[in-house]
Amino acid sequence: MPAGYQHLTDQELLQRFHADGQTEWLGLLLKRYTLMLFGVGMKYLRDEEEAKDLVQAVFLKALTELPKYKVDYLKSWLYMIARNHCLMKLRNKNTTLPFEERADEWADTLTEPSAPNQEAMLDSMEQALQELNPEQRTCVTLFYLQKQSYQQITEQTGFTLLQVKSYIQNGKRNLKIQLQKNIEHE
C-alpha cells in the first residue's frame, strides 16, 4: 500500500477497496471520518464512551455494508448511519431528543399515523398547517396527506413543478418553525 495515500480522494480509496477487497483501503478511508463520527456521537448521546462505541459501530456497519453496495457520498452515508444509530439509542432510552429531531418526527407523523402521542401531535400539526400560506398548505396537504406525486399536484393546482417542490420544501420548513413555537408555548 503506498505511503502517500493522503492525496487519494474518498472515491479513489473506495474504488481500490472494491477492486482488490483489501480492508486496509477502507480502514484508511474510515480513519478520515473518526472525528466527525465522534462529534455526532457527542452531539446526540452526550457521553464520551457512548460516542466512542458509536464510532466502532459505524465502522463495523461500513465494513459489512460497503462491500455489498456502491456508496457515492461516503461522508453523508456515514453521517446518516451515525445519526440513525444515535436516534435509535436515544429512543430505546426514552431520552428527549433535540428540538430538530422532535420537529422531524412530528413532521413525519404526516406519513406515519401510528406515532406515539398521535392525537396531540396531529392537533399541533393541524394547527401549524393552518399557519402556512395557502399555496404551501395545499401542496403539503396533497403531497403528505393525500400521497400525491409532484406531477399530480402540478396537474391539480396549475403550479409548475419547481413551484410545487418549493412550496413543499418551504412548507415543511415553516411547519417545523411553527411546531417549535407551539412546543415553546406548551
CATH code of the domain in which 34 resides: 1.10.1740.10
Which phi-psi region, left, alpha or beta, contains residue 137 (left: φ > 0; alpha: ψ -120 to 50)?
Answer: alpha
Contact 109, 115 (CB under 8 A): yes
What whole-number distance in Å separates Cα of residue 64 and Cα of residue 88?
19
Of 63, 93, 123, which residue sits at a domain end? 93
Residues 42 and 73 in one domain: yes
- pLDDT at residue 49 in the model: 93
Q: In one letter, which amino acid is 66? A: L
- pLDDT at residue 155 in the model: 92
Say how far residue 159 (Cα) sits from the centre of its chain.
28
Residues 85 and 129 in one domain: no
Residues 140 and 108 in one domain: yes
pTM above 0.75, yes or no: no
The counts of H helices and E strands in the chain are 10, 0
- pLDDT at residue 100 in the model: 53
- pLDDT at residue 146 in the model: 78
Residues 159 and 126 in one domain: yes
- Domain total in the chain: 2
Of 93, 126, 156, which residue sits at a domain end? 93
- pLDDT at residue 114 in the model: 44
Of 32, 61, 93, which residue sits at a domain end? 93
- The boundaries of the domain holding residue 22 are 5-93
Q: What is the full per-residue pLDDT of the chain (186 aa) written as tens digits?
A: 555 677 888 888 888 888 888 888 888 889 999 999 999 999 988 889 999 999 999 999 998 888 888 887 888 889 989 998 988 888 877 655 555 555 555 555 444 444 445 566 667 777 888 888 999 989 988 887 778 888 999 999 999 999 999 999 998 888 888 877 776 665
